[in-house]
Chain A
Amino acid sequence: MVRVIVNKVTSSIATIFGASVVAFVLLRVLPGDPARLIAGSLASDEAIAGVRRQLGLDQPLHVQYIRYITDFFTGDWGFSFSSGVPVKEILGSRFPATAELALYAFLFAFLSALVLALLATYREWPVVDGVVRALSSFGLGTPPFWFAILALIVFFEQFGLLPGPSGRLSSATTPPPLLTGFYTIDALVAGQFDILGEAIKHLILPVVSLGLVPFAFLVRLLRANLLEISSEPFIVVVRSKGIGRWLTHVRHALPNAFLPTLTASGLILAELLTGSVLVERIFTWPGVGALVVDSIKRQDFAVVQTFILLSASLYILVNLVVDILYGVIDPRTRIPTTEAR
């Protein structure tokens, strides 16, 4: 087991190395000239040469790469070209908003997928199953940013049921005292229930918009797994012991169907990361995703570069953890891996 983990960790490190080379080539080697971008199009040649020296762009490529990679892993992510603030600081201040949104979006996606997949496969009612499958293909085919606009048109502009694109709270409300950075939790701890209600109202549309793709993906996966498990002999055994249909479905089929969805965690994370880039700006949500889109518009690529490499690292890390966890939870998957070595 230890050997399997060591193998997985080393191959992940190799992947991170490969990914950093890809990112380096794309973001540092290819762009016309970042120095010109920073110095401005009217800068003199000497000024540009100065910036190049300052950025180390006059060094050979392998030296540049080593500097690039040590800077990244030591947290020296440079300064935002447009505001001059360290990238680390901007990202840090934006992170809680994105984390709160992503957490609730994940819970929404996961719980609704669980319930709907259970209903769709229980007794295999064709109408319920049809509706669930239609919802899933709608979710997989919908651009999340378009869904967000649609949701705003219906629930804000037409019926006025939910707040419009005003971020995490109305502009007149002061945020709850800072504790976790999650407004819902902070407001609850401080006992400010009116602010809690407002934070929840502001969360609903962004959460559903961000959770739509992960939901569609999960419900599809869970449904297929449940159908497969339901036809296995052990389910017949459980049923013939006299255990009810629903209990069999929930207690015996679900845990077995659920396990393979763990491997999809990396994909869910990827959906949440890219989804935040696509959805946040629509709700003027003050998170990392909106920051990335604004930085693209301002050609502030220091921020965007850091975000890209950070997402890749996070993605690899989650996939590694899931890989190891899966071996711990399901002993059957260990055997082939050890045999292959």
Chain B
Amino acid sequence: MSATVSQSIEPQTGATAARNSSFREAVGIFFEDRALLLALAVIILLLGLAVLGPVFWAKDPTSVDAGSALEPPSAEHLMGTDGAGRDVFARFYAGARISLTVGAIVVTLGAIIGGLIGMIAGTSGGWLDNLLMRLMDAILAFPPLILAMAVTIGLGVGIRTAAIGIIITSVPWYARLIRSEVIRVRSLPFIEAAVAIGASRARIIGRHVIPHVISTLLVQAAASFGYAILTLAALGFVGLGAQIPTPEWGAMITEGLAHAITGRWWVGVFPGLGVLMAVTAANIVADRARALLDPRGALADL
């Protein structure tokens, strides 16, 4: 894997030939990479379940039926039922919807806010740069989950505040990355040339700096997606995120804890499997994106 990637990056003679062959190679790498294909398949499967789940599986994820509590998986209940007789499969795809939605929102807002902060700090320099970066350092001084816990305690427990907590912990990653990229790009000759021909500051940022840093931002966003899903589940598990009747994977695992050692494994195992699948798939995609988009290939081996 790493060998093929670094090969495709090596300089070749003739600009168009290089572009064509590296594009073809990239396509080749894409289809040869079974892990990546599997990861994409998993993401599509989860997305499909999240969107189409209610269409072909008519059970309600929150309706209680005491008469059929803790039934093992069967044709009637694909993943069994939980302690209140709720259908675990219905809760599983509802959980996929919650996790993927929150993950997408967290990553989008985190990338926009963090990217803006990094852009402002990197282009302005001086005291503003200093102030913003000290603030980012202060946020990074906490282990991420623990800061997210503090945010949900401060703002009130719930899925929305949990998402805010996750955004706050992820903003410094984008900000620092984008700031250092902006500073690097700023010193390149073509920016100097743009200044020399009289381009305005806004035009330089919009036309020359942003296109250069956007791929870095996207790679970091992909890497943060898995983090967001995992942290949301962790907050749900400790009781600071979604609360129990909500079909959120982390909260469902909490519920499964009580039944795990009495043989009712299905209550907690399936939601955890959902987290594992979503996070691992997202991580694999992020790794490949980094290897392909990072021309220096510093992290290509990871």
- Whether the pair B283, A137 counts as a contact (CB closer than 8 A) is yes
* Distance (whole angstroms) from the CB of A266 to the closest CB of chain B: 9
Interface membership of A168, Cβ < 8 A: no
With a CB–CB cut-off of 8 A, which chain B residues contact A308? 142, 146-147, 149-150
* Identity of the chain A residue whose Cβ is nearest the Cβ of B240 in the assembled complex: A296
Residues 291-317 of A contacting B (Cβ, < 8 Å) = 292-293, 296-297, 301, 304-305, 307-308, 311-312, 315-316
* C-alpha gap A193/B142 in the complex (Å): 40
Q: Given A31-B154, A156-B261, A164-B261, answer yes or no on A19-B141 (Cβ-Cβ < 8 Å).
A: yes
Mark the stretch among B63-71, B84-92, B214-222, B265-273 that contacts chain A: B265-273
Residues 12-62 of B contacting A (Cβ, < 8 Å) = none
* C-alpha gap A15/B134 in the complex (Å): 7
- Residue of B139, B234, B238, B239 with most partner-chain A CB within 10 A: B238
Q: Mark B189-232, 1 if CB is under 8 A from A, else 0.
A: 00000000000000000000000000000000000001000100
With a CB–CB cut-off of 8 A, which chain B residues contact A47? none
Q: Mark A109-137, 1 if CB is under 8 A from B, else 0.
A: 00000000000000000000000000001
* C-alpha gap A26/B146 in the complex (Å): 12
With a CB–CB cut-off of 8 A, which chain A residues contact B233? 143
* C-alpha gap A148/B230 in the complex (Å): 15
* Identity of the chain A residue whose Cβ is nearest the Cβ of B237 in the assembled complex: A145
* C-alpha gap A307/B144 in the complex (Å): 14
* C-alpha gap A274/B221 in the complex (Å): 23
- Whether the pair B272, A277 counts as a contact (CB closer than 8 A) is no
With a CB–CB cut-off of 8 A, which chain A residues contact B261? 152-153, 156-157, 164-165
Interface membership of B128, Cβ < 8 A: no
* C-alpha gap A227/B149 in the complex (Å): 37
Mark the stretch among B105-113, B177-185, B252-260 that contacts chain A: B252-260
Interface membership of B117, Cβ < 8 A: no
* Identity of the chain A residue whose Cβ is nearest the Cβ of B139 in the assembled complex: A22
Interface membership of A14, Cβ < 8 A: yes
- Whether the pair B284, A311 counts as a contact (CB closer than 8 A) is no
Our pick among B142, B238, B269 for the contact of A311 (Cβ within 8 Å) is B142
Our pick among A141, A278, A293 for the contact of B280 (Cβ within 8 Å) is A141
- Whether the pair A304, B260 counts as a contact (CB closer than 8 A) is no
- Whether the pair B142, A138 counts as a contact (CB closer than 8 A) is no
* Distance (whole angstroms) from the CB of B299 to the closest CB of chain A: 8
Size bracket of the B interface: 35 or more
* Distance (whole angstroms) from the CB of A41 to the closest CB of chain B: 15
* Identity of the chain A residue whose Cβ is nearest the Cβ of B287 in the assembled complex: A137
Interface membership of B76, Cβ < 8 A: no
- Whether the pair B153, A301 counts as a contact (CB closer than 8 A) is yes
- Whether the pair B238, A277 counts as a contact (CB closer than 8 A) is yes
Interface membership of A188, Cβ < 8 A: no
* C-alpha gap A91/B149 in the complex (Å): 18
- Whether the pair A143, B146 counts as a contact (CB closer than 8 A) is no
* Distance (whole angstroms) from the CB of A151 to the closest CB of chain B: 10
Interface membership of B145, Cβ < 8 A: yes
Interface membership of B155, Cβ < 8 A: yes
Chain A residues with a Cβ closer than 8 Å to the other chain, count: 58
- Whether the pair B150, A26 counts as a contact (CB closer than 8 A) is yes
- Whether the pair A153, B272 counts as a contact (CB closer than 8 A) is no
* Identity of the chain A residue whose Cβ is nearest the Cβ of B148 in the assembled complex: A274
- Whether the pair A21, B138 counts as a contact (CB closer than 8 A) is yes
With a CB–CB cut-off of 8 A, which chain A residues contact B153? 26-27, 31, 296, 301, 304-305
With a CB–CB cut-off of 8 A, which chain B residues contact A227? 2, 301
Residues 27-41 of A contacting B (Cβ, < 8 Å) = 27, 29-32
Interface membership of B135, Cβ < 8 A: yes
With a CB–CB cut-off of 8 A, which chain B residues contact A307? 146
- Whether the pair B149, A146 counts as a contact (CB closer than 8 A) is no
Interface membership of A220, Cβ < 8 A: yes
* C-alpha gap A303/B122 in the complex (Å): 39
Q: Mark A277-297, 1 if CB is under 8 A from B, else 0.
A: 110001000000000110011
* C-alpha gap A255/B163 in the complex (Å): 41
With a CB–CB cut-off of 8 A, which chain A residues contact B234? 143, 145, 274, 278
Our pick among B146, B154, B301 for the contact of A228 (Cβ within 8 Å) is B301
Q: Given A15-B138, A21-B138, A26-B153, answer yes or no on A138-B276 (Cβ-Cβ < 8 Å).
A: yes
* C-alpha gap A271/B261 in the complex (Å): 26
With a CB–CB cut-off of 8 A, which chain A residues contact B143? 269-271, 273-274, 311-312, 315
- Whether the pair A296, B239 counts as a contact (CB closer than 8 A) is yes
* Distance (whole angstroms) from the CB of B288 to the closest CB of chain A: 12
* C-alpha gap A152/B261 in the complex (Å): 7
- Whether the pair B141, A30 counts as a contact (CB closer than 8 A) is no
- Whether the pair A27, B154 counts as a contact (CB closer than 8 A) is yes
With a CB–CB cut-off of 8 A, which chain A residues contact B284? 137
Task: Please list the residues of chain A having a beta carbon within 8 angstroms of any beta carbon in chain B.
Answer: 14-16, 18-19, 21-23, 25-27, 29-32, 137-138, 140-143, 145-147, 149-150, 152-153, 156-157, 164-165, 220, 223-224, 227-228, 269-271, 273-274, 277-278, 282, 292-293, 296-297, 301, 304-305, 307-308, 311-312, 315-316
A sample of 18 more A-B contacts (CB under 8 A), given A137-B284, A304-B153, is A15-B141, A22-B141, A22-B147, A27-B150, A27-B153, A30-B155, A137-B280, A140-B280, A141-B275, A141-B279, A142-B272, A142-B279, A143-B250, A146-B275, A149-B272, A274-B144, A277-B238, A312-B142
A-B contact pairs, 12 of them (CB 8 A): A16-B141, A19-B138, A143-B272, A146-B275, A220-B302, A273-B146, A296-B239, A301-B153, A304-B153, A305-B153, A315-B141, A316-B141
